[in-house]
Structure 1
Amino acid sequence: MTQILIIIATLIFLFLGANFFIDGAVALAKRLGMSSLLVGVIIIGFGTSAPEIIVSIFAAVDGSSGIALGNAYGSNIVNIGIILGLAALISPILVHRTTLFIEMPILLGISALSFFFMANGTLTRMEAGILLLIFLLYMSYTLLQSKKSQTHMHEEKPAHLLPSWRTVLYLIGGLITLVISAKYFVSAASLLAKDLGVSDLVIGLTIVSLGTSLPELASTVMASIKRQHDMALGNIIGSNIFNTLVVVGVAGMISPIYRIDREIIYRDIPVMIAFSIFLLLFSISRKKEHRINRLEGTIFLLGYLLYLLLLFKKV
C-alpha cells in the first residue's frame, strides 16, 4: 500500500514538474528569439518526454533494465493505443502529407532498427550511440525544414513573457522536481514489482509507461479538443521517435544491457511496430483526405486492451 501511495504522489510531481519545465523552457526560447514552430518541435517535444528520459536514466543507473526499456516501448504503445485513440474519439485527426510520408516511415524505420539491435538479447553502447546519432540527424533535418517553412512567414513578437526570475524558477524548479520524483518513482515501482511477484518489465510497461505518458496525454487531448490536428498527431509521433532513439539510447549508454527479456523482443517491440503500421495504414486508407476517424480511435483503444490481456496472461 505504501509503494502505491508513493507511486501516485510521485506521478503527480512528475506531471507538475514537466509542466513547470515546459513553461519555463518556452519562455526562455521566446526570449532567445526562437520561432513558435521551433518551440513546438524542440521544447514541447522534449518537455513532454522529460519524465520518460529521467525515469529511464535512474532505472539504468539502478540496473533495472526492464523498467528502462519497458518505460520507453510501453510509452510508445500507450501513446498510440490510448492517447491517440482518445484524441481521435474526441475529434477525427487530419493527417498532414509530410507526417504521412516522412515522420511515419521514420518511426517505422527506427522501430525496426530497435528490433534488429535487440534481436540477439543485448544492447551495447555502440548500438545505443547509433540511436542517439540518428536522433541528432533527425533533429538537424527537422530544424532545417522548420527554418525553411519560416522563410516567408512573419513571426509576431509575443505580447508578454514570463518575468526572468519566474522563467529561471520554472526551469530549475521543474527539473529538480522531475529528478527527485523520478528517483523515488523508480524505487517504489521496483519494490511494487517484487511485492506483486511480477517482473520489473511488466511494471515498466504498465504503471511506469502510463504514468510518464501523462504530459503527452494532457497536451494531445487538449490539442484534439482545440482541433489542432498537426499538434495532436505530431506530439505523438515526435514522442515515439524521441522515446525509441533518446530514452533507449541514453539508458544504453549509461548501462549497456547484456540480457534483454525475451518478451521485449518477441512481444513488446512487435506490438509497438504493429501499432505504428496500423497508424500508417489507417492514415492512407482514404485517398482524398488522410485522417484518423473515431472508428480507428476505437480500434486503437481495443487493441491496447488486448495487449494488456496478453501482458498479464502469464502473471
Structure 2
Amino acid sequence: MSELWLAWIAILVGFGGLIWSADRFVGGSAAIANNFGVSRLIIGLTIVSLGTSAPEIVVSISAAMEGSGELAIGNALGSNLANIGMVLAITALIAPMPIQKHLLTQEIPILLLVTVAAGIALYDATLSPLEGYLLLGGLIPLLYIMTRSKKGHPEELVDDDEIPDMKTGIAFFWFVVGLGVLIACSDLLVWGAQIVAEDFGVSQLIIGLTVVAIGTSLPELAASVMSAIKGHHDMALGNIIGSNIFNILAVMSLPGIIHPPVMESDVFSRDFMAMGGITLLLAAAIIIDYKVRNRHPESHGVARLGRRIGCLLLAGYIFYFFLLFR
C-alpha cells in the first residue's frame, strides 16, 4: 500500500477518533467537575463551551509541535469559514433559526472584535509569541463577561444531558482515555495531512483550510442538522458563534506560542479576508433582521436567520473554494 493511501486512511481514522474521544473527554471532564461541586455555570462556560473546539485545539497543538503552524492556522480560519458557510447555511436551509437578543449585545460584538484582532495578528503573514499570548489571554475577559451576563441562567449554557451522571472513578477513566485518544488521533491526522499536502503539491495552509477544517466541523454540522430536523435548534446560532470565538482565541493563538509560523501572504489577503467577510455578512444579516422584525413584529414575526441568508452564506463559501483552487 502506498504512503498516500496510508495518509488518507490516517486522516479518516484521525477524524473518527477525534470525534469519539472529544465526546468522551468532555463528558468525563464535566462529570468530574460536577462531582467535585463545580457550578453548572462554570462547567458550561469552560468544559462544555470549549469542548466543541477540542478537536481543533488538540490538532493545533499537534501541528505546531510538528512545525506545521500553517496547517494549524488554516484549521482555525477554515473551521470558522465552514461553521458559517457550511454548518449555519445548511441548518438555515433546513429550518430558519431564531435570533435571540443576547446575540446582538454580546456574542456578535465579541466575535467582530476577536476577528479584527485576528486580522491584525495575521496582517504580516506571521504569528508571533506575543500575538499568540494576547489572543489566548483574551479568553480571560471573555469568560468574565460571560459569567456576569449568564449568572442565574446556567441552563442557557449547558443541558442536563451534557453533564453525564457517572461516578468519579469512571469519569476519570473516560477523561484519561479520551485525552489519550485525542492526542494520538490528532498526531495521526496531522501526519496524514502533511503527506497529502506534499503529494498534491499544495501548502499545509490549504490542507488545513479545507480537509482538516471541514473534517473537524462535521460534528457541529451533524448536531445542528439533527437539531433543526427535530425542531430543537434555538441555541444553534449562539453555539456556532461561540465556537468561532473560541477558535480564534484558543486555536489560532497556539501556533504562535508553541512554534511561530511564517505563512504565505495569501493567509491574510485571501483566507482571513474571506473569513472576515463571511463573518461580517452573518453579523449584518442578524442585526438587520432583528431590528426590522422588532420594529414591525405584527407584519414580520419573530427574528430568524432564514433560507435566503442560508443560500447567500453557502454561495459565499463555495465561491471561496473557487478562489482557493482557481
What TM-score does the superposition give when structure 2 sets the normalisation length?
0.88
Output the CA distance in 2 between the equivalents of 1:13 and 1:109: 33
Residue of structure 2 in register with 1:265 after alignment: 268
Residue of structure 2 in register with 1:235 after alignment: 239
Q: Show structure 1 runs of 4+ deviating over 4 A.
A: 34-38
* CA deviation after TM superposition for structure 1 residue 194, in Å: 0.4
* CA deviation after TM superposition for structure 1 residue 159, in Å: 11
Contact kept, 8 Å, 2:27 with 2:163, in 1: the verdict is no
* CA deviation after TM superposition for structure 1 residue 193, in Å: 0.5
* Cα displacement string for residues 213-261 of structure 1 (whole angstroms, at most 9, x for unaligned residues): 233223333333343444211221111111111111122111123x222
Residue of structure 2 in register with 1:277 after alignment: 280
Q: Closer, same or farther in 2 for the Cα pair 1:215/1:44, shift >3 Å?
A: farther
The percent identity for this pair of structures is 38
Correspondence list, 1:139-178, <5 A: 139-149=143-153, 161-178=165-182
From 78, 85, 97, the counterpart of 2:89: 85
Output the CA distance in 2 between the equivalents of 1:90 and 1:36: 31
How many residues get paired?
309
Name whichever of 124-133 and 293-302 sits farther off. 293-302
Gaps of at least 5 residues in structure 1 are none
What TM-score does the superposition give when structure 1 sets the normalisation length?
0.91
Q: Does 1:312 align with 2:312?
A: no
Aligned-partner SS, 1:280? helix
From 16, 25, 33, the counterpart of 2:29: 25
Residue of structure 2 in register with 1:69 after alignment: 73
Output the CA distance in 1 between the equivalents of 2:170 and 2:35: 13
From 16, 28, 32, the counterpart of 2:20: 16
* CA deviation after TM superposition for structure 1 residue 174, in Å: 0.9
* Cα displacement string for residues 10-36 of structure 1 (whole angstroms, at most 9, x for unaligned residues): 111111111111222232233234454
Output the CA distance in 1 between the equivalents of 2:38 and 2:200: 48
* CA deviation after TM superposition for structure 1 residue 189, in Å: 0.3
* CA deviation after TM superposition for structure 1 residue 176, in Å: 0.7
* CA deviation after TM superposition for structure 1 residue 164, in Å: 2.6
Gaps of at least 5 residues in structure 2 are 294-301
Correspondence list, 1:196-207, <5 A: 196-207=200-211
From 133, 138, 153, the counterpart of 2:137: 133
Contact kept, 8 Å, 1:87 with 1:221, in 2: the verdict is yes
Contact kept, 8 Å, 2:97 with 2:304, in 1: the verdict is yes
* CA deviation after TM superposition for structure 1 residue 45, in Å: 1.6
Q: Closer, same or farther in 2 for the Cα pair 1:230/1:251, shift >3 Å?
A: farther
From 81, 98, 103, the counterpart of 1:94: 98
RMSD: 2.3
Task: Look up the equivalent residue of 2:17 and give its one-letter code.
Answer: F
